[in-house]
Structure 1
Amino acid sequence: MNFAIIGVGGYIAPRHLEAIKELGHQLVAAYDHNDSVGIMDRYFPDCQFFTDFERFESFIDSKKGTSEEIQYVSICTPNYMHSSHIKFALSHGAHAICEKPLVLNEKDIDELATYEKKFDKKVYTVLQLRVHDAILALKKKIESEKKDSHEINLTYMTSRGQWYHESWKGDVRKSGGLSTNIGVHFFDMLTWIFGEPLSVDVSEKSATVEKGTLKLKNAHVSWSLTIDRSLLPAEAVKTGKTTFRSIKIDGSEFEFSEGFTELHKRVYGDILSGKGYGLEAARSAIRIVEQIRGMK
């Protein structure tokens, strides 16, 4: 398959490059307005690179009907750009593979569904926790127990420096806010396992911390998210870790700290074999973070 990538200079792009390369496919074109993209030499040194979107678009169109016609566009751009770049992919004859969060608002999902029908192309979202071995095993275990309600405590701490607040990630209009940035994949995982969201509440909200509760069909979730390094637990600081994850289910710690290295490759493998997750799979988590964003 022939791929193009938008946002190749971003933090998450190397995982996409690696997945495309290891699965034996070709990256034909890449775009980023920044030119610090030397990482491409490790994977696709012959890929055509553009810092001008109009030239990138013209190149994509010029490959139609050739052996380098683009079948998939991978999107690794800032959150607020996802919807427009997905539309670009579909309207130029390619399927879209988009990083989380797929979009910022639930209404965008409905709008993209009309684009899928109009151009007969698919939108795929990267929900990598759904292919994590430990989480797959947890889903199977929860389903076998057939318990009506579970108590869950979710804590996710990932250190970010002052740069975060100056970047697009610190701008709610562009990132969607803290929960959208660092929490959406956890909310997706929980709704996937414990059922649809019924209500969400926020008890604390600042530029560095968000806390609240979430009621799912089969669970009550207390959640806490932060990028404040000073809040890391002592055991994490002692071992030099800058990230701390904890999920307790009915009082028992659920361990899933390992096994993250191959997840994008699995996501791509599923998409290319026709089993990837599409627009509707993203809806519940997008609804949750959109509601959090609107709360004080």
Structure 2
Amino acid sequence: MSKLRVAVIGCGSISKLRHLPEYVSNKHVEIVAVCDIVKERAETTAKEYSAKAYTDYEKAISESNADIVSVCLPNYLHAPVSIFALEQGKHVLCEKPMATSEEEAIQMIEASKKANKKLMIAHNQRFVKSHEKARQLISDGKLGKIYSFRTAFGHGGPEGWSIDGENSWFFRKKEAFIGALGDLGVHKADVIRYILDTEFVEVASMIESSAKANSDVDDQAVTILRSQNGIIGTLTASWAYKVGEDNATIIYGEKGMLRLEDDPQYSMIVKYVDGTNVNYELGQIQTNDNDGQTSSGVIDHFVDCIRHDKKPLIDGEEGYKSLQIILAALESNEQKRTIKLNEN
């Protein structure tokens, strides 16, 4: 089988630190095009990866003869660029959150089906070893009935991550649509669905925009979730954690509790009610502070799904379900009431 050709749309931090290096390390693909509205950025990236530089995403997608398109753009462009690429017959890997509305997400899913091309949303936390192990333990009944959880993702903000620093699109509602909830909260909405293998039916939230002076989007949010099988818990997303990053999830069950990514040495700690403790060293979770993040697992999984015609772990439908939780959190805060999601 010949190598799959890749076009990466957007040359910001997420493409430079995740997508591009991971494509390079995969022997089954070659990067043929990169695109950025900043011409110098596109040209510098193209030179580094021996690709062709574009400033127009439509040309980059249609003229490059790419098989795969990675969409690494501000949130408001996720849907239109993904849909265009799908309509051009490309497989699409889109960054999260997949869209800025339910309507956009549904359009992306429909475009994928119509084109018979794969759509995957880059929720990398499903590939974290501790999260995979936790899902397995819970599925095997090792914790018995699950009662509750708390999951959080917080750091000092995208100015320490984005290629544009304090001038990043992350802080502008017109381009980002949503702040910490979309940047960090949607990760946790997705991974808690995955670990617990359940869907959530009720959402309530309190959201603030008080930590960033140059921003008109949310920077702190605490959300309460209730699942279809009666599990309740909290999801916190914050750009106000000035000292260190929090990426921890705690799950409380009938037979014990799991602590995930909550200890500097052990990525998972299981404490059972009989007093037994089991510590797991499963490798570090990817963080904005970590160097050497050569593989999130996302690219390799997507390429493998294309090569062997398999359904991606986080396809459009999965991305949509996680997005619905975040959209409901916004609605809950605005309306000051609990929002019910469809039970299905």
Class of the TM-score when normalised by the shorter of the 2 chains = 0.7 to 0.9
Q: Relative to 1, partners in 2 of residues 1:71 and 1:249: Cα closer, same or farther, differing over 3 Å?
A: same
Change (3 A) 1:268 1:156: closer
Report the alpha carbon displacement of residue 182 of structure 1 after superposing the two structures with TM.
1.4
Deviation per CA, 1:45-85: give whole Å up to 9, x if none. x211022x1xx53464445xxxxx21011110011100011
Aligned ranges 1:87-166 → 2 under 5 Å: 87-145=83-141, 147-160=144-157, 161=159
Q: How do 1:211-290 and structure 2 match up within 5 A?
A: 211-218=222-229, 219-229=231-241, 232=242, 237=243, 241=244, 243-250=245-252, 252-255=258-261, 256=267, 258-260=284-286, 261-264=293-296, 266-274=297-305, 275=310, 276=312, 277-290=314-327
- Structure 2, unpaired ranges of 5+: 210-217, 262-266, 268-282, 287-292, 335-344
* Match status 1:36 vs 2:45: no
1:66: which partner in 2? none
In structure 2, how many angstroms separate the alpha carbons of the residues matched to 1:244 and 1:58? 40
Q: Quick one: which amino acid aligns to residue 31 of structure 2?
A: L
TM-score between both structures, scaled by the size of structure 2: 0.72
What is the distance in 1 between the residues matched to 2:148 and 2:295?
Answer: 27
Q: TM-score, normalised by structure 1?
A: 0.83
Corresponding residue SS for 1:124: strand
Partner of 1:189: 191
Distance change >3 Å, CA 167–CA 272, structure 1 → 2: closer
Out of 14, 18, 21, which is 2:24 matched to?
21
Distance 1:279 1:20, change over 3 A: same
Q: 1:204 to 1:91 in 2, by over 3 A?
A: closer
Aligned with 2:224: secondary structure? Answer: strand
Structure 1 residue ranges (4+ consecutive) displaced by more than 4 angstroms after TM superposition:
39-42, 161-166
Note closer, same or farther for the CA distance 1:198–1:164 as it changes in structure 2 (3 Å cut).
farther
Q: Given that residues 164 and 170 in structure 1 are in contact (C-alpha distance below 8 angstroms), is that contact kept between their aligned partners in structure 2? A: no
* C-alpha displacement of 1:191: 1.0
Structure 1 gap segments, 5+ residues each: 64-68
Task: Give the RMSD, CA atoms, in angstroms.
Answer: 2.4
Residue 129 of structure 1 aligns to a residue whose secondary structure is: helix
Contact kept, 8 Å, 1:203 with 1:211, in 2: the verdict is: yes
Question: Which is further off, 281-290 or 271-280?
Answer: 271-280
User: How many equivalent pairs are there?
Assistant: 274
Separation (CA, whole Å) in 2 of partners of 1:166 and 1:292: 26
Please say if residues 152 and 188 of structure 2, whose CA atoms lie closer than 8 Å, have aligned partners that are also in contact: no
User: How far off is 1:40 after superposition?
Assistant: 4.8
The alpha-carbon deviation at position 283 of structure 1 amounts to: 2.0
| Counterpart Cα distance in 2 of 1:198 and 1:224 | 18
TM-aligned CA deviation for residue 22 of structure 1: 0.6
SS at match of 1:286: helix
Distance 1:106 1:164, change over 3 A: farther
**CA distance, structure 2, for counterparts of residue 77 and residue 187 of structure 1:** 21
- Code of the residue aligned with 1:220 in structure 2: it is I
Q: Do the aligned residues in 1 keep the contact of 2:205 with 2:221 (CA within 8 Å)?
A: yes
Please state which structure has a larger fraction of its residues in helix.
Answer: 1
| Secondary structure, aligned partner of 1:36 | helix
Within the candidate set 40, 65, 72, 1:76 is matched to 72
SS of 1:244's partner is coil
* Structure-1 residue corresponding to 2:290: none
